[in-house]
Amino acid sequence: MDFINLLAQLAEGMGNTLLLFVLTLVFSLPLGLLVAFGRMSNFKPVQLLFKFIIAILRGTPLMLQLLVVFFGPYYIFGVSLSASYRFIAVVLGFSINYAAYFAEIYRSGIESIPMGQREAAQVLGYSRAQTFVKIILPQMVKRVLPPVTNEVITLVKDTSLAFVLVYTEMFTLAKQIAAARTSVMPLFVAGVFYFVFNAVVAVVMERVERSLAYYN
Amino acid sequence: MNVLKMANVKKSFGDLDVLKDISVSVDKGEVVSIIGPSGSGKSTLLRCATLLEQMDSGELWYMGEKAAGNDDEGHSAYVKDLKKFRRCFGLVFQNFNLFPHYTVLKNLMDAPVSVLKRPAGEVKAEAMALLCKMGLEDKADAYPCQLSGGQQQRVSIVRALAMKPEILFFDEPTSALDPELTGEVLKVIKQLAEEKMTMVIVTHEMAFARAVSDRVIFMDGGIIVEQGKPEEVFGDTQQERTKQFLRNYQQ
């Protein structure tokens, strides 16, 4: 009974963790592609700007970035933001941070595709946009799946960092309950939750990989 | 009328002058082979003709229309819209460069449908007819990785033909193939020659060049050293450099 009670208490946190996870992926996966375009721009200033942005995002703690996103608007611009901004800041911070990692993964995927593919498309008269969407992107997706899976699994565990903005994701709750009950059980349950979550992620990503295994 | 005309083409990469004032033209129905040692500029010439490289200076014409000419300073200036010129030619690569994520049929159909905006049904019928001609009709639904090198190269020839080009370029079409598989590709090119397809073939297959070409061009050091009918270039070689090259080849 007590265990069921514990799960019920943690459920809200699990929902919040899942929500943060899904929203982060929804925003960061496409955003990463835009950042990758900026990073690969032939226009030097743009390329350097994105290189700098990526360096900052990868080179500083996510926790710190979340604080900057949340408190920055007030301290830098004097804008006072409503209470609901807390949640927006969490999602924004996570999405921007993960977009930087995805961008570099995408870039490596795009650059690993043989020049001949682009040249063949060019000779056949494909426009630049057609070449990217029809020829480069599908092959890039296949190549980047394993490193993207890595990031997605890291994201599942990183969601616990949202506690710095007092977002009650699951781990925050588990710690509170563990303290209140002076028991390690909630933390153990939290560990199992992450493990199962990631097992599901791994299975799904493996399926996706297999669905693209029809060509080399 | 010349299908292709290139005049006074120059191209360097850094300090290296790869093409030094090359002029060449190809008539309708003509088959031209370009031979020469590695680094002689053969492939670069082909890449300039197919707009994969920009000439530093010189003119490029297709079907009597100028795609690039020299500006006041003698640098090549390309016309704005090169699209229609790209429709004039096809290119068969050494490494095939088929799209690995598409089936053979999709490889053949995608460009005619999405670039030329032709109806899919019509394109499919033509593509299947071309595959039949090559004896590859049972491979329509296969992926390129399931084919042998020779089959892949034949598919890539069909892919180029499906765009109905005026002229077809081949960049060492058999160099990536096992000796056993070169025959099937050369046979296809020979067949195209008999059908009076205009072709420019960069090749190391001397016997093939001799048999199939109307004209052979020997290039070395970024210039055309010698050119003429195959029996002239191979049988009655004029230039010492050409003799030396052919001698090395026979050994």
Residues in chain B: 251
pLDDT of residue A56: 96
Q: Which residues 185-224 of chain B have a CB within 8 Å of chain A?
A: none
pLDDT of residue A80: 76
Over the stretch B29-63, which tens digit does the pLDDT of each residue have?
Answer: 999 999 999 889 999 999 999 999 999 999 999 99
Residue B57 and residue B68: Cα distance in Å, rounded? 9
pLDDT of residue B39: 87
Residue A103 and residue A54: Cα distance in Å, rounded? 8
pLDDT of residue A145: 95
pLDDT of residue B121: 94
> Shortest Cα distance from B83 to chain A (angstroms)?
7
Domains of chain A: 2-211 (1.10.3720.10)
From the list B86, B99, B116, the residue facing A123 with the nearest CB is: B86
Query: Could you tell me the pTM of the whole model?
Result: 0.89
> Shortest Cα distance from A214 to chain B (angstroms)?
8
> Shortest Cα distance from B156 to chain A (angstroms)?
10
Over the stretch A61-90, which tens digit does the pLDDT of each residue have?
Answer: 999 999 999 988 888 887 777 778 888 999
Low-confidence ranges of chain A (pLDDT < 70): 1
Helix (H, G, I), strand (E, B) or coil at B143: coil
| Closest alpha carbon to B96 in B185, B4, B204 | B185
Residue A123 and residue A118: Cα distance in Å, rounded? 9
Integer angstrom CA distances of residue B80 from A68, A103, B45, B215: 47, 33, 21, 33
Residue in chain A closest to B144 (alpha carbons) equals A215
- Cβ atoms of B31 and B208 closer than 8 Å: no
Residue A86 and residue A162: Cα distance in Å, rounded? 10
Residue in chain B closest to A138 (alpha carbons) equals B101
H or E, element range at B198: strand B198-202
Strand-pair category, B76-78 with B65-70: antiparallel
Say what the ipTM of the complex is: 0.92
Beta carbons of A123 and B110 less than 8 Å apart: no
Contacts of A114 in chain B (CB under 8 A): 95, 97
pLDDT of residue B248: 85
pLDDT of residue A1: 54
Contacts of A120 in chain B (CB under 8 A): 91, 93, 97-99
Interchain CB contacts (distance < 8 Å): A and B? 58
pLDDT tens over chain B, length 251 residues? 799 999 999 999 999 999 999 999 999 999 999 999 988 999 999 999 999 999 999 999 999 999 999 998 889 999 998 999 999 999 999 999 999 999 999 999 999 999 999 999 999 999 999 999 888 999 999 999 999 999 999 999 999 999 999 999 999 999 988 888 888 999 999 999 999 999 999 999 898 999 999 999 999 999 999 999 999 999 888 999 999 999 887 76
Residue A135 phi/psi, 5° resolution?
Answer: -105, -50
Residue A67 and residue A70: Cα distance in Å, rounded? 5
A119 touches chain B (CB under 8 A): yes
> Shortest Cα distance from A30 to chain B (angstroms)?
22
